[in-house]
Amino acid sequence: MKQNFTRHCVCVLALAVCLSGAAYAQTAPRSYYVRADGDDNNNGRSEAAPFKTLEKAAEMAKMGVIKTITVIGPLEGGSVQAAGNDEILITGKPDAGDAEKAVINKTVSISDAKVRFTHIRFEGRMSISGTVTLGEGVVVTGSSSDGLVSWWDGSLTMTGDAHITGNTKGPGISGDDRGTVIMNGNAKITGNAGAGIYNVRVVTMSDKAEISGNKGRGITGAAGASGASTITLSGNASITGNTAERGGGVYVGYRGTLTLSGNASITGNTAKQGGGVYVKTGQASMEGGTISGNKAEYGAGVYVPKDRIFTLKKGTITGNEAEFVGGGVYVEAGGTYNAQGGSVTGNTAGDGDGENVFRQR
C-alpha cells in the first residue's frame, strides 16, 4: 500500500513538472532574430538560424503571433511597413557583449506601423510615419541630415533613457508642420547643430525629460498654417543651454501655445531676443516652474512681440540678464503681459532700466 502511494506521488509530481514546463513554453517570450550574416530563407526563430534583414523579420512579425525582433550585432538599416495595429518590439540584447551589441548604421524607415525600440544604437537617420517609441537603451546619433528623426505624420515617444544627439548638420527631430513628440522618463535631446525639436505640431515634456546644448534653440513650434502648435512642459522637464537668434529655449510657433507648469525649467539659454522664450505667434502661459539664467540683448527671460500674449500665473522669472533692457520680460508696443501671480525678480539689464519688466512705448 505504501509502495503504491509513493509511486502515485512520484507520478503526480512528474505530471506537475511536465505541465509547468509546457505552460512556461507557451508563455515564455519568443522572438525572431536578425543578424547581418543570417539568411532570409531561415525560419528566424533562433539565434542559430537568424534572418538577414529587418524587412524579413518585420514581415513575419506582421503575419504571425511573434511580435518581438531581436537584433544581434550591426545591421545596415531597414524598414517596417504596414505592420497592422499590434506593436512590434525591435530590441537588442540588454546584456550583449561588444560583438553582439545592436547597431543600425543606415536609415531606418517606419511607415504605417506601431514600433517600440529598446537597447539599440542608431548611427543614421530615422524616418517615421506611424507610432514609434524609443525606449530604454536607445541612442540615435551621428547623422548629418536635416533631422536625425523626421516624419510626415504620426507620433514619437521618448522614454526611459532614450537619447537623440550629435547631428552635425541639423536638428535632432524634424517634423513637417505635423506630428507629436512626447518625452518622459530621463529622455534627452542634446548637442545637435540645429534645434532640439523643429517644426513639430505638438510637444509634451514631463518627468525629467531634457533638451539641452543644441545650436538652433531647444524647441521650434510648428511654423505652418495647418493647425495650432502646442508645447507643454511639466514635472521636472528642462530646456537648457540652447542658442538661437530668437527664442534660445522655446520659439512659440504658428498660432501656438506654450504652457509651463510644475517644476519645469527654461534655463541658461541664449539669443538676441528672448533668451528663454520668444512668442513668435500665439501666446505663452506660465503656471509654475522657472525661467532663469537666460541671456539676450532684449527680453532675456521672455520676449513678447506686438499682438502676442504672455500670462504669468505662477512660477518664477529670475536671474536672467539682458544686455540692454528687459532682463525678465520685454513687451513690444502692442504686446500683452498679464501679471496674475508668480514673481519677476532679480533680473538685470545693461541699460539700468526695465531690469525685470520693460514695456516698449
Nearest CA-CA partner of 345 in 325, 313, 320, 310: 320
Look up residue 145 and give its DSSP letter: S
Nearest CA-CA partner of 249 in 312, 205, 307, 287: 205
DSSP output for 240-280: ES-B-SB-SSEEE-TT-EEEE-TT-EEES-B-SB-SSEEE-
Q: How far apart are the first and last CA of the chain?
A: 106
Q: Is residue 232 part of a domain?
A: yes
Q: Answer for the pair 327, 356: CB distance below 8 angstroms, yes or no.
A: yes
Q: Is residue 284 part of a domain?
A: yes
Query: What letters, b where the CB count within 10 A reaches 16 and e where it falls short, cover 1-20?
Result: eeeeeeeeeeeeeeeeeeee
Residues 256-282: pLDDT tens digits?
Answer: 899 999 999 999 999 999 999 999 888
Task: Work out the burial of residue 229: count CB atoms within 10 Å of its CB; fewer than 13 is exposed, 13-18 middle, 19 or more buried.
Answer: buried
Q: Is residue 12 part of a domain?
A: no
Q: Is residue 67 part of a domain?
A: no
Q: Answer for the pair 63, 91: CB distance below 8 angstroms, yes or no.
A: no
Cell representation of residue 344: 519677476
Q: How many residues does the chain have?
A: 361
Note the Cα 85 to chain centre separation in Å: 22
Number of domains in the chain: 1
Nearest CA-CA partner of 322 in 291, 344, 305, 347: 347
DSSP output for 45-79: SSTTS-BS-HHHHHHHHHHSS--EEEEESEE--EE
Task: Work out the burial of residue 94: count CB atoms within 10 Å of its CB; fewer than 13 is exposed, 13-18 middle, 19 or more buried.
Answer: exposed
Place 184 in a pLDDT band, splitting at 50, 70 and 90: very high
Q: Is the dihedral of CA 35, 38, 44, 49 positive or negative?
A: negative
Q: Is residue 273 part of a domain?
A: yes
The kind and range of the H/E element at 336 are: strand 336-339
Largest Cα separation within the chain, whole Å, is 106
The kind and range of the H/E element at 11 are: helix 2-27
What per-residue confidence (pLDDT) applies to 156? Answer: 94
Q: 245 lies in which domain range? A: 217-361
317-to-246, 264, 272, 327, 328 alpha-carbon distances in Å = 18, 12, 18, 9, 6
Q: What is the rounded average pLDDT of the residues 51-62?
A: 95
What percent of the chain has pLDDT above 90? 72
Q: Is residue 177 part of a domain?
A: no
Residues 243-253: pLDDT tens digits?
Answer: 999 999 999 98
Measured distance CA(292)–CA(269) in Å, rounded: 9
Q: Is residue 326 part of a domain?
A: yes
What per-residue confidence (pLDDT) applies to 29? Answer: 60
Per-residue pLDDT at 87 exceeds 50: yes
Cell representation of residue 133: 517609441
Judged by DSSP in three states, 21 sits in: helix
Q: Is residue 285 part of a domain?
A: yes
Task: Give the pTM.
Answer: 0.90
- Please indicate whether residue 113 or residue 224 has the higher confidence score (pLDDT): 113
Q: What is the rounded average pLDDT of the residues 187-212?
A: 95
